[in-house]
Homo-oligomer: A and B are copies of this chain.
Amino acid sequence: MSVLPPSVAWSITDGPEAVAIIDQRLLPGELVVRRLETVDAVIDAIATLAVRGANVIGSAGGLGLALGIRQGLDAVVTADRLIAARPTAVNLAVAVNLVLAAHRAGLDPLERALGLIADDTEQTRLIGEFGRAELAGVDTVLTHCNTGRLATTGWGTALGVIYAKQAAGEPIRVLATETRPLRQGARLTAWELHTSGIDVSLIPDSAAASALGQGLVGAVIVGADRIAANGDTANKIGTRALAVAAAHEGIPFYVAATLNAVDLGTASGDAIEIEERDPAEMLEGIPVPIPVWNPAFDVTPGELIAGIITEAGVLRPPYAVSLKEALG
Protein backbone atom coordinates (compact mmCIF):
# COMPACT_ATOMS: atom_id res chain seq x y z
CA MET A 1 0.00 0.00 0.00
CA SER A 2 2.63 2.48 1.09
CA VAL A 3 5.18 3.89 -1.28
CA LEU A 4 7.27 4.94 1.73
CA PRO A 5 10.59 3.17 2.37
CA PRO A 6 11.29 2.16 6.00
CA SER A 7 12.10 5.08 8.31
CA VAL A 8 15.31 3.22 9.30
CA ALA A 9 16.84 -0.02 7.97
CA TRP A 10 20.09 -1.92 7.42
CA SER A 11 21.25 -1.51 3.84
CA ILE A 12 23.61 -3.81 1.92
CA THR A 13 22.70 -2.64 -1.57
CA ASP A 14 23.97 0.39 -3.53
CA GLY A 15 27.30 0.53 -1.70
CA PRO A 16 29.07 -0.63 1.47
CA GLU A 17 26.88 -1.76 4.34
CA ALA A 18 25.13 1.18 5.96
CA VAL A 19 22.24 2.46 8.07
CA ALA A 20 19.59 3.74 5.64
CA ILE A 21 17.21 6.43 6.84
CA ILE A 22 14.54 8.71 5.45
CA ASP A 23 15.91 12.22 5.96
CA GLN A 24 12.91 13.67 7.78
CA ARG A 25 14.29 17.20 7.66
CA LEU A 26 13.47 17.31 3.95
CA LEU A 27 9.88 16.03 4.28
CA PRO A 28 7.41 16.57 2.81
CA GLY A 29 9.13 18.58 0.09
CA GLU A 30 11.56 15.79 -0.79
CA LEU A 31 11.63 12.08 0.04
CA VAL A 32 15.34 11.27 0.32
CA VAL A 33 16.78 8.00 1.66
CA ARG A 34 20.24 8.63 3.06
CA ARG A 35 22.83 5.82 3.42
CA LEU A 36 24.88 6.43 6.57
CA GLU A 37 28.11 4.50 6.00
CA THR A 38 29.97 5.61 9.13
CA VAL A 39 29.20 6.01 12.81
CA ASP A 40 29.93 9.73 12.45
CA ALA A 41 27.20 9.98 9.81
CA VAL A 42 24.75 8.15 12.11
CA ILE A 43 25.58 10.47 15.01
CA ASP A 44 25.14 13.50 12.77
CA ALA A 45 21.76 12.24 11.51
CA ILE A 46 20.54 11.70 15.08
CA ALA A 47 21.86 15.03 16.35
CA THR A 48 20.42 17.05 13.46
CA LEU A 49 16.97 15.37 13.60
CA ALA A 50 17.34 13.77 10.18
CA VAL A 51 15.95 10.78 12.09
CA ARG A 52 13.17 11.50 14.60
CA GLY A 53 10.62 9.55 16.63
CA ALA A 54 11.65 7.70 19.78
CA ASN A 55 11.70 4.20 18.27
CA VAL A 56 13.37 5.37 15.07
CA ILE A 57 16.15 7.10 16.98
CA GLY A 58 16.69 3.99 19.10
CA SER A 59 16.80 1.76 16.04
CA ALA A 60 19.25 4.03 14.25
CA GLY A 61 21.48 4.06 17.32
CA GLY A 62 21.45 0.27 17.63
CA LEU A 63 22.29 -0.20 13.96
CA GLY A 64 24.93 2.51 14.25
CA LEU A 65 26.72 0.65 17.03
CA ALA A 66 26.58 -2.59 15.04
CA LEU A 67 28.04 -0.73 12.05
CA GLY A 68 30.87 0.67 14.14
CA ILE A 69 31.75 -2.70 15.66
CA ARG A 70 31.77 -4.30 12.20
CA GLN A 71 34.15 -1.55 11.06
CA GLY A 72 36.50 -2.30 13.96
CA LEU A 73 35.72 0.66 16.23
CA ASP A 74 35.82 0.35 20.01
CA ALA A 75 32.34 -0.75 21.10
CA VAL A 76 32.14 1.14 24.41
CA VAL A 77 33.48 4.42 23.03
CA THR A 78 31.16 4.20 20.03
CA ALA A 79 28.15 3.43 22.24
CA ASP A 80 28.89 6.47 24.41
CA ARG A 81 29.27 8.70 21.38
CA LEU A 82 25.99 7.51 19.90
CA ILE A 83 24.08 8.01 23.15
CA ALA A 84 25.51 11.51 23.52
CA ALA A 85 24.00 12.52 20.18
CA ARG A 86 20.56 12.95 21.87
CA PRO A 87 21.24 12.65 25.60
CA THR A 88 17.58 12.95 26.66
CA ALA A 89 16.28 10.30 24.23
CA VAL A 90 15.63 7.33 26.50
CA ASN A 91 15.00 4.88 23.66
CA LEU A 92 18.39 5.70 22.15
CA ALA A 93 20.32 4.81 25.29
CA VAL A 94 18.24 1.67 25.85
CA ALA A 95 18.73 0.34 22.32
CA VAL A 96 22.44 1.15 22.16
CA ASN A 97 23.07 -0.46 25.55
CA LEU A 98 21.18 -3.63 24.57
CA VAL A 99 23.28 -3.99 21.42
CA LEU A 100 26.45 -3.30 23.43
CA ALA A 101 25.47 -5.95 26.00
CA ALA A 102 24.85 -8.50 23.24
CA HIS A 103 28.27 -7.80 21.74
CA ARG A 104 29.99 -8.17 25.11
CA ALA A 105 28.15 -11.45 25.63
CA GLY A 106 29.68 -12.70 22.39
CA LEU A 107 26.50 -12.38 20.35
CA ASP A 108 26.19 -10.72 16.94
CA PRO A 109 25.46 -6.99 17.52
CA LEU A 110 23.83 -6.57 14.10
CA GLU A 111 21.50 -9.47 14.77
CA ARG A 112 20.54 -7.89 18.10
CA ALA A 113 19.93 -4.46 16.54
CA LEU A 114 17.79 -6.00 13.81
CA GLY A 115 15.96 -8.02 16.46
CA LEU A 116 15.08 -4.83 18.35
CA ILE A 117 13.69 -3.32 15.16
CA ALA A 118 11.70 -6.49 14.49
CA ASP A 119 10.32 -6.31 18.03
CA ASP A 120 9.28 -2.67 17.55
CA THR A 121 7.69 -3.47 14.23
CA GLU A 122 5.80 -6.45 15.66
CA GLN A 123 4.56 -4.38 18.61
CA THR A 124 3.06 -1.75 16.35
CA ARG A 125 1.55 -4.49 14.17
CA LEU A 126 -0.21 -5.86 17.24
CA ILE A 127 -1.37 -2.38 18.26
CA GLY A 128 -2.84 -1.94 14.80
CA GLU A 129 -4.69 -5.24 14.96
CA PHE A 130 -6.01 -4.76 18.50
CA GLY A 131 -7.10 -1.23 17.56
CA ARG A 132 -8.79 -2.45 14.40
CA ALA A 133 -10.86 -4.95 16.39
CA GLU A 134 -11.74 -2.27 18.94
CA LEU A 135 -12.83 0.18 16.23
CA ALA A 136 -14.73 -2.37 14.17
CA GLY A 137 -17.71 -0.06 13.65
CA VAL A 138 -15.77 3.18 13.18
CA ASP A 139 -15.00 4.51 9.70
CA THR A 140 -13.76 8.03 10.54
CA VAL A 141 -10.98 8.74 13.02
CA LEU A 142 -9.44 11.99 14.20
CA THR A 143 -5.74 11.97 15.13
CA HIS A 144 -3.11 14.43 16.32
CA CYS A 145 0.61 14.88 15.66
CA ASN A 146 2.59 12.07 13.99
CA THR A 147 2.52 8.45 15.14
CA GLY A 148 2.94 6.44 11.95
CA ARG A 149 5.52 4.96 9.62
CA LEU A 150 7.83 7.94 10.06
CA ALA A 151 7.70 7.89 13.86
CA THR A 152 8.26 4.15 14.39
CA THR A 153 9.99 1.26 12.66
CA GLY A 154 6.62 -0.31 11.87
CA TRP A 155 3.35 1.19 10.70
CA GLY A 156 2.96 3.23 13.84
CA THR A 157 0.81 3.37 16.95
CA ALA A 158 -2.30 5.54 16.43
CA LEU A 159 -1.70 5.47 12.69
CA GLY A 160 -1.03 1.72 12.94
CA VAL A 161 -4.72 1.26 13.74
CA ILE A 162 -5.56 3.19 10.57
CA TYR A 163 -3.13 1.21 8.44
CA ALA A 164 -4.51 -2.02 9.89
CA LYS A 165 -7.99 -0.99 8.78
CA GLN A 166 -6.67 -0.16 5.34
CA ALA A 167 -4.80 -3.49 5.11
CA ALA A 168 -7.99 -5.35 6.05
CA GLY A 169 -9.90 -3.56 3.31
CA GLU A 170 -12.11 -1.74 5.80
CA PRO A 171 -13.31 1.79 4.98
CA ILE A 172 -11.32 4.40 6.87
CA ARG A 173 -11.22 8.17 6.70
CA VAL A 174 -8.90 10.34 8.81
CA LEU A 175 -9.04 13.91 10.03
CA ALA A 176 -5.47 14.95 10.88
CA THR A 177 -4.90 18.03 13.00
CA GLU A 178 -2.18 20.42 11.88
CA THR A 179 -0.38 20.23 15.28
CA ARG A 180 1.02 23.71 15.74
CA PRO A 181 3.59 25.01 16.21
CA LEU A 182 5.78 22.49 14.35
CA ARG A 183 2.95 21.24 12.12
CA GLN A 184 3.85 17.54 12.31
CA GLY A 185 0.22 16.74 11.50
CA ALA A 186 0.42 18.67 8.24
CA ARG A 187 4.01 18.00 7.22
CA LEU A 188 4.19 14.35 8.26
CA THR A 189 0.85 12.72 9.15
CA ALA A 190 -1.42 14.13 6.44
CA TRP A 191 1.36 13.76 3.89
CA GLU A 192 2.20 10.19 4.99
CA LEU A 193 -1.44 9.04 4.96
CA HIS A 194 -2.16 10.76 1.64
CA THR A 195 0.97 9.16 0.15
CA SER A 196 -0.22 5.79 1.48
CA GLY A 197 -3.54 6.11 -0.31
CA ILE A 198 -5.66 6.83 2.76
CA ASP A 199 -8.55 9.31 2.62
CA VAL A 200 -7.20 12.08 4.87
CA SER A 201 -8.22 15.69 5.43
CA LEU A 202 -5.99 18.18 7.20
CA ILE A 203 -7.75 20.47 9.69
CA PRO A 204 -6.62 23.34 11.93
CA ASP A 205 -6.15 22.21 15.54
CA SER A 206 -8.95 24.58 16.47
CA ALA A 207 -11.45 22.88 14.13
CA ALA A 208 -11.37 19.52 15.92
CA ALA A 209 -14.10 20.40 18.44
CA SER A 210 -16.34 21.45 15.56
CA ALA A 211 -15.70 18.21 13.65
CA LEU A 212 -16.52 16.22 16.78
CA GLY A 213 -19.61 18.34 17.46
CA GLN A 214 -20.92 17.81 13.95
CA GLY A 215 -20.78 14.02 14.32
CA LEU A 216 -18.09 13.66 11.64
CA VAL A 217 -15.85 11.44 13.79
CA GLY A 218 -16.35 7.96 15.31
CA ALA A 219 -13.26 7.92 17.52
CA VAL A 220 -10.17 9.94 18.43
CA ILE A 221 -6.81 8.11 18.57
CA VAL A 222 -3.53 9.65 19.64
CA GLY A 223 -0.09 8.42 20.70
CA ALA A 224 1.66 8.92 24.04
CA ASP A 225 4.96 10.30 25.23
CA ARG A 226 4.52 9.00 28.75
CA ILE A 227 1.70 7.16 30.52
CA ALA A 228 1.57 7.46 34.31
CA ALA A 229 0.57 4.60 36.61
CA ASN A 230 -3.03 5.89 36.84
CA GLY A 231 -3.45 6.26 33.07
CA ASP A 232 -2.83 10.02 32.93
CA THR A 233 -1.09 10.50 29.58
CA ALA A 234 1.44 13.10 28.48
CA ASN A 235 1.34 13.69 24.75
CA LYS A 236 1.80 16.50 22.20
CA ILE A 237 0.17 19.79 23.22
CA GLY A 238 -3.45 19.77 22.05
CA THR A 239 -4.19 16.19 23.07
CA ARG A 240 -6.06 17.24 26.21
CA ALA A 241 -8.35 19.55 24.22
CA LEU A 242 -9.29 16.63 21.97
CA ALA A 243 -10.02 14.38 24.95
CA VAL A 244 -12.20 17.02 26.61
CA ALA A 245 -14.11 17.72 23.38
CA ALA A 246 -14.58 14.00 22.70
CA ALA A 247 -15.94 13.50 26.22
CA HIS A 248 -18.34 16.43 25.71
CA GLU A 249 -19.70 14.80 22.55
CA GLY A 250 -19.72 11.22 23.87
CA ILE A 251 -17.08 10.09 21.35
CA PRO A 252 -14.50 7.52 22.55
CA PHE A 253 -10.94 8.79 22.97
CA TYR A 254 -8.08 6.25 22.70
CA VAL A 255 -4.36 6.31 23.38
CA ALA A 256 -2.26 3.91 21.26
CA ALA A 257 1.27 3.22 22.54
CA THR A 258 3.83 0.52 23.11
CA LEU A 259 4.13 -0.52 26.74
CA ASN A 260 7.59 1.06 26.96
CA ALA A 261 5.73 4.41 27.17
CA VAL A 262 4.25 3.36 30.51
CA ASP A 263 6.11 4.66 33.55
CA LEU A 264 4.78 3.03 36.72
CA GLY A 265 7.26 5.19 38.65
CA THR A 266 5.15 8.23 37.80
CA ALA A 267 2.04 8.06 39.97
CA SER A 268 -0.07 10.57 38.04
CA GLY A 269 0.06 13.36 35.49
CA ASP A 270 0.78 15.90 38.22
CA ALA A 271 4.28 14.44 38.50
CA ILE A 272 5.06 14.89 34.80
CA GLU A 273 7.19 17.93 34.07
CA ILE A 274 6.20 19.70 30.85
CA GLU A 275 9.08 21.23 28.92
CA GLU A 276 8.53 24.53 27.12
CA ARG A 277 9.63 25.00 23.56
CA ASP A 278 11.32 27.94 21.81
CA PRO A 279 9.05 31.05 21.70
CA ALA A 280 10.39 31.75 18.20
CA GLU A 281 8.24 28.89 16.89
CA MET A 282 5.19 31.09 17.54
CA LEU A 283 6.56 34.51 16.57
CA GLU A 284 6.98 34.17 12.81
CA GLY A 285 6.32 37.59 11.29
CA ILE A 286 5.97 39.32 14.67
CA PRO A 287 8.58 42.08 15.00
CA VAL A 288 8.40 42.52 18.79
CA PRO A 289 9.36 39.95 21.45
CA ILE A 290 5.84 39.21 22.71
CA PRO A 291 5.91 36.71 25.60
CA VAL A 292 4.94 33.19 24.53
CA TRP A 293 3.73 30.15 26.46
CA ASN A 294 4.70 27.23 24.23
CA PRO A 295 4.43 23.95 26.18
CA ALA A 296 5.61 20.85 24.32
CA PHE A 297 3.11 18.48 25.92
CA ASP A 298 -0.06 18.40 27.94
CA VAL A 299 -1.55 15.81 30.27
CA THR A 300 -4.83 14.07 29.54
CA PRO A 301 -6.53 12.66 32.65
CA GLY A 302 -6.91 8.88 32.56
CA GLU A 303 -10.65 9.20 33.20
CA LEU A 304 -11.11 10.75 29.74
CA ILE A 305 -9.44 7.75 28.02
CA ALA A 306 -11.77 4.95 26.81
CA GLY A 307 -8.89 2.52 26.27
CA ILE A 308 -5.11 2.32 25.93
CA ILE A 309 -4.29 0.24 22.84
CA THR A 310 -1.00 -1.65 23.39
CA GLU A 311 0.81 -4.69 22.02
CA ALA A 312 -0.71 -6.60 24.97
CA GLY A 313 -4.27 -5.68 24.00
CA VAL A 314 -6.65 -2.82 24.79
CA LEU A 315 -6.25 -1.82 28.43
CA ARG A 316 -9.36 -0.59 30.27
CA PRO A 317 -9.99 1.58 33.31
CA PRO A 318 -9.14 1.46 36.11
CA TYR A 319 -5.67 1.91 34.60
CA ALA A 320 -3.96 1.65 37.99
CA VAL A 321 -4.87 -2.03 37.77
CA SER A 322 -4.72 -2.79 34.04
CA LEU A 323 -1.36 -1.07 33.40
CA LYS A 324 0.27 -2.93 36.29
CA GLU A 325 -1.10 -6.24 35.03
CA ALA A 326 0.08 -5.59 31.48
CA LEU A 327 3.63 -4.83 32.63
CA GLY A 328 3.71 -7.51 35.31
Closest residue of chain B to A193, judged by CB? Answer: B290
Is B180 within 8 A of A204, CB to CB?
yes
Closest residue of chain B to A282, judged by CB? Answer: B202
A70 at the interface (CB under 8 A from B): no
Residues of chain A from 213 to 242 with CB closer than 8 A to chain B in the complex: 213, 237-238, 240-241
Which among B29, B180, B191 is the interface contact of A206 at CB below 8 angstroms? B180
A210 at the interface (CB under 8 A from B): yes
Is B295 within 8 A of A207, CB to CB?
yes
Separation in Å of the A194 CB from the closest CB of chain B?
Answer: 5
Which among B178, B202, B290 is the interface contact of A202 at CB below 8 angstroms? B290
Is B29 within 8 A of A287, CB to CB?
yes
Is A190 within 8 A of B286, CB to CB?
yes
Is A204 within 8 A of B204, CB to CB?
no
Main secondary structure of the interface of A (DSSP, over half): mixed
Is B200 within 8 A of A290, CB to CB?
yes
Closest residue of chain B to A296, judged by CB? Answer: B207
A187 to B283, CA, bound (A): 9
Is A293 within 8 A of B194, CB to CB?
no
Contacts of A290 in B (CB 8 A): 186, 190-191, 194, 200-202
A170 to B178, CA, bound (A): 37
Separation in Å of the A7 CB from the closest CB of chain B?
Answer: 19
Separation in Å of the A243 CB from the closest CB of chain B?
Answer: 8
A50 at the interface (CB under 8 A from B): no
Known: A181-B204, A209-B240, A245-B244. A195 touches B288 (CB 8 A): yes
Residues of chain A from 264 to 285 with CB closer than 8 A to chain B in the complex: 282-283, 285
Contacts of A186 in B (CB 8 A): 282-283, 285-286, 290
Closest residue of chain B to A288, judged by CB? Answer: B194
A190 to B283, CA, bound (A): 10
Contacts of A203 in B (CB 8 A): 282, 292-294
A204 to B290, CA, bound (A): 13
Closest residue of chain B to A211, judged by CB? Answer: B293
A179 at the interface (CB under 8 A from B): yes
A22 to B186, CA, bound (A): 34
Is A293 within 8 A of B237, CB to CB?
no
Contacts of A179 in B (CB 8 A): 206
A175 to B238, CA, bound (A): 16
Contacts of A191 in B (CB 8 A): 286, 288, 290
A250 at the interface (CB under 8 A from B): no
Which among B241, B287, B291 is the interface contact of A241 at CB below 8 angstroms? B241
Separation in Å of the A240 CB from the closest CB of chain B?
Answer: 5
A129 at the interface (CB under 8 A from B): no
Closest 5 CB pairs of A and B: A206-B238, A209-B241, A210-B298, A205-B206, A201-B291
- What are 10 A-to-B residue pairs whose CB atoms are below 8 Å? A28-B288, A178-B180, A186-B290, A191-B286, A194-B288, A201-B291, A202-B283, A202-B291, A204-B205, A206-B237
